[in-house]
Each structure stands twice: as structure tokens, then as C-alpha cells.
């Protein structure tokens, strides 16, 4: 197929509709009428010879052909946007909108309270945060960057390990007063332990303890299982059980005695913090500066 510049214009309209979730929202993003957007999509479908969107009275969704086309075309559209920034002589400019799928622990316990500094550095950039249980299709969901704990599992995404966080095993003084303090990790088999669900396996994470000499897996149990780390931390503080948590954002609780680090000599287990973005050669500057900011904050903890 010979290059048709009108296809490129149509891709921009399609992107706005997908990110907005409807013709009306897409039209608002582009400053057009909804009927104009609908006509542009129809023309694009005719030129491609494929139906790209399933339309209902309330929403639009990509067809299988539309999803394949969108996922292949959107990175190139982003590259064109980056090239336009370069051509304008503002290669270092960071502006526009950044949508970040961020870990539900990292945002409230590590970044919250520090984001104003980032906004001061880049006043022309706005950020939308979402936290999903599963990291899905970044392109189709309009997500520019994902910041997540855990091992990389997504072959279609570019991943960068930012830093590794220690895993701490903690309990509140209230729990220890009632149930006693375990002297060795293996003692936890007889304690009430708060479980955290691995979204990939659908089972609670296994507990493992590592020091300079050995690795000790421990089978734990307890009546409470969580998918929200803040709720698990709240229950741990209330004395409901022993918890394994990422050792960031809880320094004040440990120093104030609200939490007790049960096994300070067993901090060998580490959990990586990763940045994911859709696969392409050069991510936008806004992705790079926010990734670097997350690393900067995490490195000070």
C-alpha cells in the first residue's frame, strides 16, 4: 500500500477516541465535533479495509483488527510527537500529560508528599495515576509508564530495574504482648501471619528468609489475606498478625515503636522495583524524568 498521509491523521483521531473511551471524549481532546470524529474514523476504516471499532450507544471498543493496528501504530505516532519536539528546538522540554500505572504500595507510602517537588521541576507536565491489580496492555489503556514491584513478566514491554527493596517481617507491640515474639523465622509456622495475594498466581506469596549463610522457607498461615498493602499494614499495626512488608515508607513506624522488626538479621530477601514502558527505541522525555524521580526518591530511603 502506498503511503497515504490521511491514514496518519486518522491514527491521531483513533488514538484520541481510544484514550477518551468515546467519540465525545475523543472530540474534546482534539477540539472537534463528535460527528467529525466519527466521520474521520469511518474514512480510516474504508482506507484500511477493516472495521476498527465496535460502536454502541454508550462506548466504543477496539475490534481485534483495530487492536492490532492501534498497538502497531501508536508507538510510531509517539515517535512523531517526539520528533516534533526535537524540531521545535525544545528537546529537553517536559510537558503534556503522563499516565502512570503505579504500585499501590509505592505511591502512598513512598511518593506521596514528595510529588509537589516534581511538579515544581516540570510545571508544564500533568500526571494521572492509576493502580490496577494486573498490569495489562499499556498501549490500549493509554498508559505511558508503569512502576511496579516484582519480577518482569511482560515480554512485550521494556523493563528497567530501578532499585531493590528489603523485605521486613514485622509485628506490633500489641501482637507480641498477646502472642509472644518469635525467636527464629521457623517459629512463624505457629503464629498468625497476614497473607498477601500474588496477583499472577492467585495464591499468597510464600515466605522466605535469607541471611549471609542460608535461606529458610517457612510455611505460614492466617485467616486474613489481602490485595491492598495499606490495609494489611493497618491490620498489622492493630495487632491482627505478623506481616511481611517492603521496607520503605515505614521508618517512622519502626523508630516510634509502632512496629517491631522481628528478624533484623534476616534482611537478605530483596524485591525489585521496575519501570515498564511500551516497547520502542526512545521513550518520551516525560517518561524518563519521572522514572528518574522515582529512583531518586527510592534511593534516599
Give the pLDDT confidence of 249-285 residue by residue, as tens digits.
888 999 999 999 999 999 888 888 999 887 655 677 8
**Tens digit of each residue's pLDDT (9 = 90 or more) over 211-232:** 888 999 999 999 999 988 889 9
Q: 0.75 exceeded by the pTM?
A: no
Residues 6 or more apart whose CB falls under 8 angstroms from that of 35 comprise none
Write down the pLDDT at residue 247.
87
**Tens digit of each residue's pLDDT (9 = 90 or more) over 29-46:** 788 888 888 888 888 888
**Tens digit of each residue's pLDDT (9 = 90 or more) over 95-137:** 888 999 998 888 888 898 999 999 999 998 999 999 876 777 7
Write down the pLDDT at residue 129.
94
List Cα–Cα distances, 40 to 23, 31, 36, 176, 236, in angstroms: 11, 13, 6, 66, 55
Write down the pLDDT at residue 279.
62
Query: Hey, what's the cell of 92?
Result: 529537553
How far apart CA 64 and CA 71 sit, in angstroms, is 11
Write down the pLDDT at residue 104.
85
**Tens digit of each residue's pLDDT (9 = 90 or more) over 158-167:** 788 898 888 9
In the chain, domain spans = 5-87, 93-301
Write down the pLDDT at residue 255.
95
175 against 151, higher pLDDT: 175
156 against 19, higher pLDDT: 19
pLDDT band of residue 91 (cuts 50, 70, 90) is very low
pLDDT at 197 over 70: yes
CB-count burial class (<10 Å; 0-12, 13-18, 19+) for 102: buried
Average pLDDT of the chain? 85
How far apart CA 17 and CA 34 sit, in angstroms, is 10
199 against 183, higher pLDDT: 183
**Tens digit of each residue's pLDDT (9 = 90 or more) over 63-72:** 988 888 888 8
Residue range 56-83: average pLDDT? Answer: 77
CATH of 5-87, one of 1.10.357.10, 1.10.10.10, 1.10.8.50, 1.10.3720.10: 1.10.10.10
Write the CATH number of the domain with boundaries 93-301. Answer: 3.40.190.290
| % of the chain residues with pLDDT over 70 | 88
| % of the chain residues with pLDDT over 90 | 38
Contact assessment for residue 284 and residue 207, using Cβ atoms and an 8 Å cutoff: no
Amino acid at each position: 500500500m502506498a503511503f497515504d498521509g490521511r491514514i496518519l491523521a486518522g491514527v491521531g483521531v483513533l488514538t484520541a477516541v481510544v484514550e477518551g473511551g468515546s467519540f465525545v471524549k475523543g472530540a474534546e481532546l482534539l477540539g472537534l465535533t463528535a460527528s467529525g470524529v466519527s466521520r474521520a474514523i469511518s474514512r480510516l476504516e474504508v482506507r484500511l479495509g477493516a472495521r476498527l471499532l465496535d460502536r454502541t450507544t454508550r462506548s466504543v471498543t477496539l475490534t481485534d483488527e483495530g487492536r492490532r493496528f492501534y498497538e502497531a501504530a501508536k508507538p510510531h505516532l509517539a515517535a512523531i510527537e517526539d520528533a516534533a519536539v526535537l524540531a521545535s528546538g525544545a528537546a529537553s522540554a517536559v510537558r503534556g500529560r503522563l499516565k502512570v500505572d503505579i504500585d499501590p504500595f509505592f505511591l502512598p507510602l513512598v511518593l506521596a508528599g514528595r510529588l509537589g517537588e516534581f511538579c515544581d521541576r516540570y510545571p508544564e507536565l500533568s500526571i494521572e495515576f492509576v493502580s490496577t491489580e494486573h498490569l495489562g496492555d499499556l498501549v490500549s489503556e493509554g498508559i505511558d509508564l508503569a512502576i511496579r514491584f516484582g519480577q518482569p513478566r511482560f515480554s512485550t514491554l521494556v523493563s528497567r530495574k530501578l532499585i531493590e527493596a528489603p523485605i521486613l517481617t514485622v509485628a506490633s507491640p500489641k501482637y507480641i504482648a498477646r502472642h509472644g515474639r518469635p525467636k527464629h523465622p521457623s517459629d512463624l509456622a505457629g503464629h498468625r501471619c497476614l497473607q498477601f495475594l500474588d496477583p499472577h498466581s492467585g495464591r499468597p506469596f510464600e515466605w522466605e528468609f535469607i541471611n549471609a549463610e542460608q535461606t529458610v522457607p517457612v510455611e505460614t498461615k492466617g485467616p486474613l489475606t489481602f490485595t491492598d498493602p495499606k490495609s494489611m499494614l493497618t491490620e498489622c499495626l492493630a495487632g491482627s498478625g505478623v506481616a511481611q512488608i517492603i521496607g520503605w515508607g515505614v521508618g517512622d513506624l519502626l523508630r516510634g515503636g509502632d512496629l517491631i522488626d522481628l528478624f533484623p538479621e534476616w534482611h537478605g530477601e530483596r524485591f525489585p522495583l521496575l519501570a515498564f514502558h511500551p516497547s520502542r527505541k526512545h521513550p518520551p522525555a516525560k517518561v524518563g524524568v519521572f522514572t528518574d524521580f522515582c529512583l531518586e526518591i527510592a534511593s534516599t530511603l
